[in-house]
Chain A
Amino acid sequence: MEKGKIAVLAVQGAFAEQMERVSRLGAECIALRQKADLMQDFDGVILPGGESTVQGKLLVELGMLEPLRDKISKGLPVMGTCAGLILLAREIGNDAHGWLGTLPVRVRRNAYGRQLGSFHTEGMVRGIGTVPMTFIRAPYVEETAQEVEILARIEHRIVAVRYQNQLGTAFHPELDADNRIHEMFLAMCEKG
């Protein structure tokens, strides 16, 4: 099995950290900064942490939202972390905005409050085991459609989900040394 080529949305946020991790794990990596970048071939896309309002607005203004949604709907593997999870969510409980809307969950933005509410912990992820989890002004998932697989909960709140080709985490696997979440995603992107 060959590792796929991974595209990282690089309009705002911690995209350099994602690219660095993916490269270190041996996958080829490209940055998506404008519509033309979406024309390239790639086998998976990562939506990094950052500010979802900024990223969502830039996706719209740069004409990237529709083509990206189209690719994800057609089965392109995607991983969204924190802001990326918000971009994927079909519904945002405390925000009128909606962005890609491909993942049938309702998220709550800034669900743990301001920066003083940010925290680091460890938690069990289904199929992987205990992993470190860093939450920065993080969201959590309030509700999911029945078909959505819940991968992790922290204090009864859903913080990681998988649905077909889509993986979403409220925490930032790119900020901790553990590679297993990225490895799980890269396995979803493998060719052949």
Chain B
Amino acid sequence: MSEDRYTLNKQLAQMLKGGVIMDVTTPEQAKIAQEAGACAVMALERIPADIRAAGGVSRMSDPKMIKGIQEAVSIPVMAKCRIGHFAEAQILEAIEIDYIDESEVLSPADDVYHIDKKQFKVPFVCGAKDLGEALRRINEGASMIRTKGEPGTGDVVQAVRHMRRMNSEIAKITSMREDELYEEAKRLAVPYELVVYVHEQGRLPVVNFAAGGVATPADAALMMQLGAEGVFVGSGIFKSGNPAKRAAAIVQAVTNYQDSRILAELSEDLGEAMVGINEQEIELLMAERGL
């Protein structure tokens, strides 16, 4: 991938900022999401809550289904491939997907290597629990980062944990002496140049979204106040009582995340939220996939 192409891919993520990316499984859901104000949709056959419930091996979605969603909406369409499954990524690139999510929600195809994302023209977003993971993914060519959260649970605790951890690690590097950065690069197992970037800029070199367990306007506002630049909402919308209304409320909450009066109005009368499962009740921790 040329340097120019990588820059363009990072810049597409910049255009998504302040927005909500929603999981959808059908063209109809994609239209509802777009009408509700999604800045992009993630096309997948089953939303994470159902992947979790169904068990078994979970793979890239049928390209025909993804194409149906591409035809249904004008906003960017993303799709997931398995960690390390570069052939699935090649297929997604062939259908001109706007963003590939190399995602821990699907069953990992490789327990050692992630995809060499620099071999692709299309952009990649990857999950990260901490700064080291984020910078390793960026070094592999990811042009956008998201927290891993714990997908399909409706429990925001892990997304909060990952965002806070990343922020505190960034703050620590910002306050380090320059001669300490070599050791920090070694400790994080990432290239020195990326650590220098974080030291100088006080942020990741790419856009950072929150993902995993966001189910309410308040969840979205919490993640934005913690420093997320936008949010992914997976199961939280189409597993709830009134998807269109909840989706629209979360979109507005991301815009006015600091105005508690507006947030109170948005939180009213949204119908039933997804039931959710607590972190302690889960047997499979997806966030532990791919380090």
Contact = CB atoms under 8 A, between A and B. Distances in A.
B122 A115 contact: yes
A16 interface: yes
Interface in A161-183: 172, 175
B15 interface: yes
Contact of B8 (A12, A95, A113, A120): A120
A136 B265 CA distance: 35
Contacts of B39: 12-13, 50-51, 54
Contact of A119 (B8, B19, B34, B256): B8
Contacts of A120: 4, 7-8
Contacts of A15: 17-18
Interface in B1-60: 4, 7-9, 11-12, 14-19, 34-35, 37-40
Contact of B9 (A11, A34, A109, A115): A115
Interface stretch (B150-158, B177-185, B247-255): B247-255
A175 B7 CA distance: 10
B15 A51 contact: yes
B63 interface: no
Interface in A100-148: 109-110, 113-116, 118-120, 134, 136-137
Contacts of A109: 74
A51 B75 contact: yes
B202 interface: no
Task: Name A's interface SS.
Answer: loop
A10 interface: yes
Contacts of A51: 15-16, 19, 39-40, 75-76
Contacts of A119: 8
A53 B99 contact: no
A99 to B, nearest CB: 13
B252 A14 contact: no
Contact of B12 (A10, A12, A54, A137): A137
A17 B37 contact: no
A13 B96 contact: no
Contacts of B12: 115, 118, 136-137
Contacts, number: 110
Contacts of B70: 114
**Category for how many chain B residues contact A:** 35 or more
A53 B98 CA distance: 17
Contacts of A137: 12, 15, 76, 98
A33 B259 CA distance: 10
A14 B123 contact: no
Interface string B232-276: 000000000000000010011011100100100000000000000
Interface string B59-82: 000000000001000111000000
A77 interface: no
A49 interface: yes
Interface centre among B8, B19, B70 (most CB of A within 10 A): B8
B121 A116 contact: yes
B17 A11 contact: no
A115 B248 CA distance: 25
Contacts of A12: 17-19, 39, 254-255
A142 to B, nearest CB: 16
A57 interface: yes
A58 interface: yes
Interface in A30-66: 33-34, 49-51, 53-54, 57-58, 61-62
Contacts of B18: 10-13, 15, 50
Interface of A: 10-17, 33-34, 49-51, 53-54, 57-58, 61-62, 82-83, 94-95, 109-110, 113-116, 118-120, 134, 136-137, 172, 175
Given A15-B18, A51-B39, A120-B7, 11 more contacts: A12-B19, A15-B17, A33-B256, A51-B76, A53-B34, A61-B248, A114-B76, A115-B76, A136-B8, A136-B11, A175-B14
Interface of B: 4, 7-9, 11-12, 14-19, 34-35, 37-40, 70, 74-76, 96-99, 121-123, 248, 251-252, 254-256, 259, 262
23 contacts: A12-B18, A33-B259, A50-B16, A50-B39, A51-B19, A51-B40, A53-B37, A53-B74, A58-B251, A62-B252, A82-B15, A109-B74, A113-B96, A114-B96, A115-B8, A115-B9, A115-B76, A118-B11, A120-B8, A134-B11, A136-B8, A136-B11, A137-B98
